Amino acid sequence: MRSIEDQLHVIESGASAIHTRDALREKLATGRALRVKLGVDPTAPDLHLGHAVPLRKLRQFQDIGHQVVLIIGDFTAFIGDPSGRNATRPALSREEIDANANTYVEQAFKILDPDRTELVRNSDWLDALGFADLLRLTSRFTIARILERDDFAKRYAAQQPISLHEFLYPVAQAYDSVAVRADVEIGGTDQLFNLLAGRELMEKHGMEPQVCLTLPLLEGTDGVQKMSKSYGNYVGLTDPAGEVFGKVMSIPDGLIVKYFRLATGLPVEEVDAIEAGLAADDGRPDLVKRRLAREIVALYNGAEAATSAEEAFDRVFKRHEAPADVPEIPISLDGIQQNAEGQRYLPGFITSSGTVVSASMARNAIDGGAVRKDGVKVDVGSYWVDEKELFGSTWQVGKRKWFRALNDDAEEHDKKT
């Protein structure tokens, strides 16, 4: 096992805070494999790079010799984590939770070493608690303590509803730490209250309290908002390799090192060298970002897919050629507006392809010079097109969306005849 200083260097890489570092050092000094806990509620089926940040930190713990305890919060998912929320989360069914959990585990083991992962569900111990047990557990916390949470305090001050069961979420998560005898718990910066509640409850049970390690929230491809599907700035773990490569290449240069630290499997010392090179202007950010994109694609799709994704990226963005695999999309002209001259409304046609969600977005793309037909930019304000020009051509919408339209009406006619 590595020296304590080497282990601390790996553990602290990319971390926001450790509560407390001295306690972590003392635990490491025992020489035993620490039990490092992460609890996740399976509230959505697909993961993105932001979700993978704590999983990557867990893998670092595994690589330096420690034991990971991955808790699937199938019980706490019924409550819904109120962290950062201004409203009560909608309840999920048992079937939804189980389906999401299966998908989560499958994706998590693309990162974690199964031999050093203890996989458990918190329903194993929380389902077994009776009402008397719950009363004893909740007696360890005060309402004043729970209201210290920033999100609860804001909602209370704004007279927004807080359901009583939401108060039980940090209590339940804290009990998870007692149940698995955690040495370290990992979570995002928005989880700090919950992590500290686990530390406090362990102390009240006469146990050595866990160390709380928080990780920053990963900004999405826009470089501003945290990565989220709702913001459309995410890089999904199951996204096609070419799409992942292109999305990573679009991040601001200022996020390159953060992505290397939080989203790749490179050794910490190698990331340190990359950071030093960029700071000293020894490395070109565009080339370093290419390496970042290759590393992330290779993690989830393999080295061969990373090479192919880079070649496809160059074909489109360097040589300005259409992708080799432009999707062919059947489109019916039924419902697409027609003018007196028999021309069709181009924004409606583009919307029917599924590349944008509304005709107004299609108009904005045209007026912004982001729509091309067979490589030629569509003129600003050109909203009406002859029908014969719509099909058989290659259309580009924005930087990454391409399609070749098939006349669905013609196909239906052929079937009938």
CA nearest neighbour of 104 among 90, 121, 116: 121
Q: Tell me, what's the pLDDT at 338?
A: 92
Q: Is the pLDDT of residue 119 over 90?
A: yes
Q: For the chain, what are the domain ranges?
A: 4-215, 229-317, 328-416
Mean model confidence pLDDT for the chain: 89
Q: Tell me, what's the pLDDT at 412?
A: 45
Q: What's the rounded mean pLDDT across residues 272-288? A: 86
Q: Tell me, what's the pLDDT at 82?
A: 64
Q: What's the rounded mean pLDDT across residues 172-197? A: 94
Q: What's the rounded mean pLDDT across residues 242-271? A: 94
**Strands (DSSP E) found in 346-414:** 371-373, 376-377, 384-385, 394-397, 401-407
The secondary structure of residue 130, as a DSSP letter, is -
pLDDT higher at 414 or 261 = 261
Domain spanning 229-317: CATH 1.10.240.10:
yes
CATH superfamily entry for domain 4-215: HUPs (3.40.50.620)
User: Crossing angle of helices 4-12/21-29, nearest 10°?
Assistant: 140
Count H helices and E strands in the chain, helices first: 19, 13
Q: Is the pLDDT of residue 57 over 80?
A: yes
pLDDT grade for 415, boundaries at 50, 70 and 90: very low
Least reliable range by pLDDT among 25-34, 315-324, 386-395? 315-324
Q: Is the pLDDT of residue 307 over 70?
A: yes
Which two three-digit tokens encode residue 130?
């009776």
Q: Top-level CATH class of 328-416?
A: alpha beta
Q: What's the rounded mean pLDDT across residues 367-395? A: 89
Residue 190 identity (one-letter amino acid)? D
Beta carbons within 8 Å of 279's beta carbon, 6+ residues apart: none
Q: What's the rounded mean pLDDT across residues 255-274? A: 95
Least reliable range by pLDDT among 21-35, 57-71, 234-248? 234-248
Q: Are both 4-215 and 229-317 of the same fold?
A: no
- Report how far apart, in Å, the C-alpha atoms of 403 and of each of 108, 318, 330, 365, 394 are: 33, 19, 10, 15, 6
Q: Tell me, what's the pLDDT at 83?
A: 61
Q: What's the rounded mean pLDDT across residues 181-186? A: 98
**3-state secondary structure at position 170:** helix
- Residues of the chain with pLDDT > 90, as a percent, come to 61
Q: Tell me, what's the pLDDT at 322?
A: 67
Asked if 233 contacts 220 with a C-beta cutoff of 8 angstroms, the reply is yes
Q: Is the pLDDT of residue 45 over 80?
A: no
Q: What's the rounded mean pLDDT across residues 101-128? A: 93
pLDDT grade for 414, boundaries at 50, 70 and 90: very low
- Residues of the chain with pLDDT > 70, as a percent, come to 94
pLDDT grade for 318, boundaries at 50, 70 and 90: confident
Q: Tell me, what's the pLDDT at 319?
A: 67
Q: Tell me, what's the pLDDT at 206?
A: 95
Angle formed at CA 338 by CA 370 and CA 413, multiple of 5 degrees: 100
Q: Tell me, what's the pLDDT at 327?
A: 85
Which two three-digit tokens encode residue 206?
């006469």
pLDDT grade for 165, boundaries at 50, 70 and 90: confident
Q: What's the rounded mean pLDDT across residues 228-236? A: 88
For residues 23, 25, 31, 33, the Cα torsion angle rounded to the nearest 10 degrees is: 70
Q: Is the pLDDT of residue 85 over 60?
A: no
Residues making up the chain, counted from first to last = 417
Q: Is the pLDDT of residue 392 over 60?
A: yes
pLDDT grade for 347, boundaries at 50, 70 and 90: very high
Asked if 185 contacts 38 with a C-beta cutoff of 8 angstroms, the reply is yes
Q: Is the pLDDT of residue 321 over 80?
A: no
